[in-house]
Structure 1
Amino acid sequence: MNRCTTDTHQSEEQGIFLPPAVKSIPISVLKQNGLLQALAEGPNGCTEADPSAELLQAQEEWEAMESLQSGIVGTSAGHVPLIAFNEALQYFQTADLSECRKKIQPTVQRRGLSAVAHFFFGPPRLHQQLQGERDLALAIAQCGLDNNEKVHMRILQTIYKKLTGSRFDCPRYGAHWEELGFQGLDPGTDLRGTGLLGLMQILYFVMDSRTLPLARDVFKLSQHESQNFPFCVMSINITRIVIQALREEHLSRECNRRQQVIAVLNDLYVATSLRLYVIWKTQQKTISDSGFVLKELETFAKKKPKQLLRYLEIYMSGRAVSVIDGGFQHPSPSSGVHSPDLNSAVGNSSKEINFTGVCDPQVEMEGEARLI
């Protein structure tokens, strides 16, 4: 046994360990400062001439972990610039989404009496010149998160920085995404119900200076000690509601009036998030109420989208918005939401409804309609 081995055994017997501060340092920093090499050296700085198989395997594992920490395997970590919503949208307008477009179902297919009733009494059809924009939105909703697409990664980083206030990039995978309200270490696994449109709407929420304060208020409420809920999962569920309202043609009248589709989708998303915030805060909702609240949000967004959008305008103008008797009211000009004595907007139900997961949403729809 050489001296290095002897000294190492002595260190183990004496209970010498790396301090916690060293353990928490990023792997790349450890390598740059020679600390990883020190792990393979004895206390006197001597190393074995031929590294063992165990040491080589450990080195490979460290390098693999470093690649994971950098965010995307094969690329080095660096400063990722923020991306505005319009820039991200321009990317999707020019990207090849042909495969995604093959999967979309622009409208819900109705049959029998439902089709007849919708034809005579339903909302107007979307103007032909707007159908391309509608199909683009639905194609984005079919687009998965791609590590090799820089714009996708910039969207993720922007959301993280704007919600947390961090100036630094975060790893592509990790528990920090759970802190933002995703269900796991990889946000991409939560997007199967809404695709990149789920992230795009969060991006709009946090990058518009008018809506950012509300986004941060909702995010802060989601971290409440007793009223907490997964912010990003809830947000993606709201995007799912918006998509369904579009496909069921509940938004056609407003889109035709404004001659826009994606802008209407974004406004309805923010308006629904506002309603979620007011209900959740004023009625002391908790995670056990989330499924029922989401169902109420879906019903309201489909039946009264114009009213939702109207009260978003009121809120954005600086007047308070509160929920009462199943609707909104604005009691007085205010800079915040203050309405302690409100009647329930969603009522009581003896049947418990579980939280709607974004990966396998349960949606009752007519005919052969499916959630995209």
Structure 2
Amino acid sequence: MSIRLLITRLFDFIKRILHPFTKWVLRQTTGLCELQRTCYCEPSGASRILAIENSLKQSKSVKVHTLLKFLDLAAKEKRLTAAGSAQIIRNTVETICCIKKIHLDAHQPFIKLFGECVSVIWGLKQLLHDLENIRTTAYDSSNTEHEKKLLELWNLLMPMKELDFRVSNLWKDIGFQGDDPKTDFRGMGLLGLENLHFFAKNYSEVALQVLSHSNHPIHGYSFAIVGINLTHLTYTLWKDGTAKSHIYNICCHHLQIPGPTLLHFHRFYCYLFIEFDKLWMAEKPATIMEFGRIRSRFENDIRLLLSNRDCLFKLNIPVEHV
């Protein structure tokens, strides 16, 4: 173990030991609980929301943890809707104020700021349940909606070329492995198709440029297969919490309350696809066998960026032709 790592772990241990005492001292001197200090002192965005989330998780109050279980269940049951969210958030704020002995009339700013944090935190949890449902929905060739979206994907990416048959080798032209794309969606289910379709439809010019890059005679890659792989990366970053810095910042930046939506997930995916394409073309790999190395480097770079609480990915639309 390096000296630096040892010192870091020792510092973290001391910090954990002193944390309850520090909280008590600050409560006595400021008259504010940790949640109030966080709302009033932390800047808007990921810094504040992550601090609130961490404070709630670390609470030793049984009542607080009972409340958190209630919110988790509400997210799972998709009760944080436009109609139902306001009442749930209001009850949550009132419950916390009661537990922490916060006077509602004297701390109106806290009520607003804490309510927004709760709304975003559990809005994300609800969205993750929705994403899991889409991911675990298998592509069904007998489902007319699935088939329609797949054929739309072809028309968006190959507007000048008509698909001869539903099962055709032409699918390889947009990066599928075989003559029937449904087999390639097994890993990420319908979510893989939804991401590809969103990219091709909403950023059509960029998607066509990226597709042209993927068809490079020397440095090419399989557009659709890489796209589905990036769906897996996007989903993983959201599910394991790595992407929270971006998600929480984007919600506050665009005032998206009660929380993130599927649109944010799709845009995050598009950002990753565009950035991966840039890296791939910059690397100019001699063979597709280098995909694993480049994919691993790309993920590490993205995780490093997301480790910054100020991280906010913005789509950089221009993509150079090759």
Indicate which of 195, 201, 210 corresponds to 1:207: 201
* Cα distance in 2, alignment partners of residues 156 and 170 from structure 1: 14
Amino acid of the residue matched to residue 279 of structure 1? L
**Which residue number corresponds to residue 268 of structure 1?**
268
Deviation at residue 267 of structure 1 after TM alignment: 1.9
In the TM superposition, what are the counterparts of 1:1-372 in structure 2 within 5 Å? Answer: 127-166=121-160, 168=162, 170-208=164-202, 211-257=203-249, 258=251, 259-285=259-285, 286-305=287-306, 310=312, 312-313=314-315, 315-316=316-317, 336=320
Of all paired residues, the percent bearing the same amino acid is 19
Bigger CA radius of gyration:
1
Question: Are residues 130 and 255 of structure 1, via their aligned partners in 2, closer, same or farther at CA, if it must alter by over 3 Å?
Answer: same
* Cα distance in 1, alignment partners of residues 238 and 196 from structure 2: 18
Deviation at residue 281 of structure 1 after TM alignment: 1.7
* Cα distance in 2, alignment partners of residues 197 and 309 from structure 1: 25
List gaps (5 residues or longer) in structure 2.
1-75, 77-116, 252-258
Deviation at residue 169 of structure 1 after TM alignment: 5.2
Deviation at residue 310 of structure 1 after TM alignment: 4.8
Q: Is the 8 A contact 2:199 2:270 kept in 1?
A: yes
* Cα distance in 2, alignment partners of residues 240 and 270 from structure 1: 13
* Cα distance in 1, alignment partners of residues 279 and 161 from structure 2: 32
Q: Structure 1, residues 252-306: CA drift from partner, whole Å, max 9, x if none?
A: 3433341214223212211111122211222312413211111122223333248
* Cα distance in 1, alignment partners of residues 225 and 174 from structure 2: 9
Amino acid of the residue matched to residue 282 of structure 2? T
Question: Are residues 337 and 234 of structure 1, via their aligned partners in 2, closer, same or farther at CA, if it must alter by over 3 Å?
Answer: same
CA-atom RMSD in angstroms = 2.9
* Cα distance in 1, alignment partners of residues 302 and 190 from structure 2: 21
Count of residues in Structure 1 that have an aligned counterpart in Structure 2: 197
* Cα distance in 1, alignment partners of residues 320 and 158 from structure 2: 21
TM (norm. structure 2) is: 0.55
* Cα distance in 2, alignment partners of residues 303 and 139 from structure 1: 29
Q: Is the 8 A contact 1:134 1:261 kept in 2?
A: no
Deviation at residue 141 of structure 1 after TM alignment: 0.8
SS of the counterpart of 2:271? helix
**Which residue number corresponds to residue 110 of structure 1?**
none
Q: Structure 1, residues 312-354: CA drift from partner, whole Å, max 9, x if none?
A: 43x23x5xxxxxxxxxxxxxxxx7479xxxxxxxxxxxxxxxx
Structure number having the greater helix percentage: 2
* Cα distance in 2, alignment partners of residues 242 and 233 from structure 1: 14
* Cα distance in 2, alignment partners of residues 242 and 281 from structure 1: 21
* Cα distance in 1, alignment partners of residues 311 and 190 from structure 2: 23
Question: Are residues 261 and 249 of structure 1, via their aligned partners in 2, closer, same or farther at CA, if it must alter by over 3 Å?
Answer: farther
List gaps (5 residues or longer) in structure 1.
1-100, 102-123, 319-334, 339-372
Amino acid of the residue matched to residue 243 of structure 1? Y
Q: Is the 8 A contact 1:255 1:261 kept in 2?
A: no
Q: Which has the higher contact order (CA 8 A, sep 6+)?
A: 2
SS of the counterpart of 2:216? coil
* Cα distance in 1, alignment partners of residues 121 and 164 from structure 2: 42
Q: Structure 1, residues 200-258: CA drift from partner, whole Å, max 9, x if none?
A: 011110111xx222211111011111111111001111000011101101123433341
* Cα distance in 2, alignment partners of residues 160 and 260 from structure 1: 29
* Cα distance in 2, alignment partners of residues 181 and 162 from structure 1: 14
Deviation at residue 187 of structure 1 after TM alignment: 0.9
Amino acid of the residue matched to residue 291 of structure 2? S
TM (norm. structure 1) is: 0.48
* Cα distance in 2, alignment partners of residues 253 and 284 from structure 1: 31
Q: Structure 1, residues 168-206: CA drift from partner, whole Å, max 9, x if none?
A: 455221211122111111211111221111110111101
Question: Are residues 199 and 311 of structure 1, via their aligned partners in 2, closer, same or farther at CA, if it must alter by over 3 Å?
Answer: same
SS of the counterpart of 1:155? helix
